[in-house]
């Protein structure tokens, strides 16, 4: 089968299309013929050995993914496709079922076929969704739901989503609204109407100098969906008992431990995140009910994976970047 493979850490140009052995499902796995996948920031950070985050994070990343060279040569964590083969113990799926899934740091989705545990983060595709839409939703949803759950978002809460037009940000806006919170969002000019349409009650345009830390407004939750803000800058905009939700950064891990003991404003950053099959089933239900939708920026064929990756690394994408697999 064809797959996107990388044999060493480095820039997007280390990615290659190669013929690799087709995987065989274990007794508890399904083999999915992948029709669509995505290129996301986890793919980019892993491929580059987290160099942009500094030497300490890069070393930690290499200890996980391979010190000198990557252990898993095929990236990609989001996928949608059709069940092509069943493991001997699989009971809940049938050959031909249209499914969507998230493999996490097991990766493997940038290929024509991928194996997924039946008990893993996999479900039948939402009715009416295309492969491209179904592939684009799991990563943002899982990240946002984990953070908002820890932050106790809900009715009566005021939530600000910083970086509201990315994959996690668009998920955060929709989920916070679904949970009954009042939602403010920060994004750039081109995405103002999109973010409003996702459920934001108020939208701030950072490209026009609209800074939520200068408005005097207080929020119960500040959700940094892109890792470009900080607790220090957000603290003055948090109400008493407020929570700053982080999506990455070793510094936030330290701050989470410190603020859990001192002060009434908390940094919430818990590792490892716990994503479940039930989370994907909930996502399916929300999409079918019209309460959640995919946001797809661009669609590339798998042969253009380098161009897709370079676009993701501009950090200017809206929602998700999808890659189709012929």
The pLDDT value recorded for residue 252 is: 87
Estimate to the nearest angstrom the gap between the alpha carbon of 147 and the chain centroid. Answer: 12
pLDDT at 283: 98
Mean pLDDT throughout 61-89?
93
In a domain, 170, yes or no: yes
Residue 94 domain boundaries:
2-137+294-324
| Predicted confidence (pLDDT) at residue 57 exceeds the cutoff of 90 | no
- 272 prior amide bond cis, ω within 30: yes
Residues 165, 118 share a domain: no
205, 163 contact by CB (below 8 A): no
Span 136-161, pLDDT tens digits: 999 999 999 999 999 999 999 999 99
State whether 129 and 216 are in the same domain. Answer: no
Predicted confidence band of residue 65 (pLDDT cuts 50, 70, 90): confident
- What's 246's domain CATH number? 3.40.50.720
Does 211 reside within a domain? yes
Please report the pLDDT score of residue 54 as a whole number.
80
Distance, in Å, from the CA atom of 196 to the CA atom of 208, rounded to the nearest integer, reads 17
Q: Are residues 110 and 236 in the same domain?
A: no
Whole-number pLDDT of residue 157: 97
- Count how many domains the chain has: 2
pLDDT of residue 306: 98
Q: What SS3 state is found at 104?
A: helix
**What's the whole-number average pLDDT of the chain?**
95
Is residue 283 situated within a structural domain? Answer: no
Task: Identify whether 132 is part of a domain.
Answer: yes
pLDDT at 46: 95
pTM: 0.94
The burial of 54, by beta-carbon neighbours within 10 Å (0-12 exposed, 13-18 middle, 19 or more buried), is given as exposed
Residues in a beta bridge with 162? 186, 224
Q: Are residues 258 and 162 in the same domain?
A: yes
- Binning pLDDT at 50, 70 and 90, where does residue 59 land? confident
pLDDT digit string, tens, across residues 215-233: 999 999 999 999 889 999 9
């Amino acid at each position: 089968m064809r797959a996107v493979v990388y044999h060493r850490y480095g820039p997007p140009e280390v990615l290659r299309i190669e013929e690799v052995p087709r995987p065989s499902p274990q007794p508890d796995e399904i083999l999915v013929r992948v029709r669509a996948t995505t290129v996301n920031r986890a793919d980019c950070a892993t491929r580059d050995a987290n160099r942009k985050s500094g030497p300490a994070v890069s070393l930690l990343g290499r200890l996980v993914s391979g010190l000198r060279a990557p252990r898993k040569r095929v990236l990609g964590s989001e996928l949608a496709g059709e069940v092509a083969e069943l493991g001997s113990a699989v009971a809940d799926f049938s050959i031909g079922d249209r499914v969507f899934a998230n493999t996490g740091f097991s990766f493997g989705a940038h290929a024509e076929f991928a194996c997924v545990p039946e008990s893993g983060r996999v479900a039948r595709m939402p009715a009416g969704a295309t492969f491209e839409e179904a592939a684009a939703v799991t990563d943002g949803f899982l990240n946002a739901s984990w953070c908002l759950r820890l932050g106790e978002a809900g009715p009566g809460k005021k939530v600000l989503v910083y970086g509201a037009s990315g994959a996690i940000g668009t998920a955060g806006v929709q989920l916070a609204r679904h949970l009954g919170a009042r939602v403010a969002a920060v994004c750039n000019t081109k995405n103002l109407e999109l973010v409003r349409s996702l459920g934001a009650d108020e939208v701030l345009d950072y490209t026009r100098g609209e800074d939520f830390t200068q408005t005097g407004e207080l929020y119960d939750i500040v959700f940094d969906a892109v890792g470009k803000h900080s607790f220090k800058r957000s603290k003055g905009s948090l109400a008493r008992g407020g929570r700053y939700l982080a999506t990455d950064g070793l510094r936030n891990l330290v701050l989470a431990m410190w603020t859990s003991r001192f002060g009434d404003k908390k940094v919430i950053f818990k590792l490892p995140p716990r994503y479940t099959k039930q989370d994907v089933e909930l996502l399916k239900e929300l999409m079918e009910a019209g309460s959640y939708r995919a946001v797809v920026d661009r669609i590339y064929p798998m042969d253009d994976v380098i161009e897709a990756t370079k676009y993701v690394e501009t950090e200017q994408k809206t929602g998700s970047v999808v890659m189709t697999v012929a």
